[in-house]
Amino acid sequence: MKVQEWKEKSKEERTKALVELKEKARQLRFDIATREAKNVSEYQKIKKDIARLETLRRQEEVSLDGMPE
């Protein structure tokens, strides 16, 4: 999914998606290691989505912390 699509989702939806993607990546990593999975590119796409979500989460944290009171 693209960054703009992730930004349109609520914070709770992104958090839920992040947990699901991490679990899917873990399972796919084991499948690749045991040669059960043939599609290695899907693992790479999942890792990029995880990175996008983590980046958005961090940007929100920084923007909230940087606001003057």
| pTM score of the predicted model | 0.80
Residue 24's H or E segment, with its range, is: helix 11-33
All residues at 6 or more sequence positions from 54 whose CB lies less than 8 Å from its CB, including other chains: 18
pLDDT digits (tens, 9 = 90+) for 35-68: 888 888 999 999 999 999 999 999 888 887 665 5
